Amino acid sequence: MLFSLLKKYQKFIKFSLVGFSSTVIDVGGLWILVEFAHLPVLLSSAISFCLAATNGFWWNKHWTFKNEEKKYLKQFSYFFLISLGGLFINLILLKVLISLNVYYLLAKILIVGVVVSWNYLWNNLVTFKCVK
């Protein structure tokens, strides 16, 4: 039964693992750029977000969705826009939850499910057109 569940949700599990690695790149890159390169936080955040989105695109294209179409620029553009949408949702919900006195780390954890669902749905439907 466990194996059938894993098989059924294999693509979503892969997408989530790629998202986790992208989160590590985003947060780690931010920290390195601020602490060691002494760049401003907002510039560092923009750079680390772009690095994380590029990582996510490459792994999702070739591993999660196994999409070998040569439309890299078009697909990356969609992926990046969808990721920006997820970032926007994340920031809005974080601001709302914090204003309701929810501890910021708990708020961030609660938001992850919403953003992962958003990103998976739209990348599956639009960016990589669900290869079955």
Q: Sort 16 into a burial class: Cβ within 10 Å, 0-12 / 13-18 / 19+.
A: middle
Q: Sort 111 into a burial class: Cβ within 10 Å, 0-12 / 13-18 / 19+.
A: buried
Residues 6+ apart with CB under 8 A from 54: 76
pLDDT for 42 equals: 81
Q: Is 85 helix (H, G, I), strand (E, B) or coil?
A: helix
| Residue 27 predicted with pLDDT over 50 | yes
| Residue 120 predicted with pLDDT over 50 | yes
pLDDT for 131 equals: 45
* Domain residue extents for the chain: 2-127
pLDDT for 132 equals: 43
How many residues are present in the chain?
132
Residue 119 near residue 126 (C-beta atoms within 8 A)? no
pTM of the predicted structure, to 2 decimals: 0.78
What is d(CA 59, CA 94) in angstroms, rounded to the nearest whole number?
27
pLDDT for 130 equals: 54
Lowest-confidence region among 13-17, 20-24, 113-117: 113-117
Average of per-residue pLDDT across 54-81 = 92
Average of per-residue pLDDT across 60-72 = 90
| Residue 13 predicted with pLDDT over 90 | yes
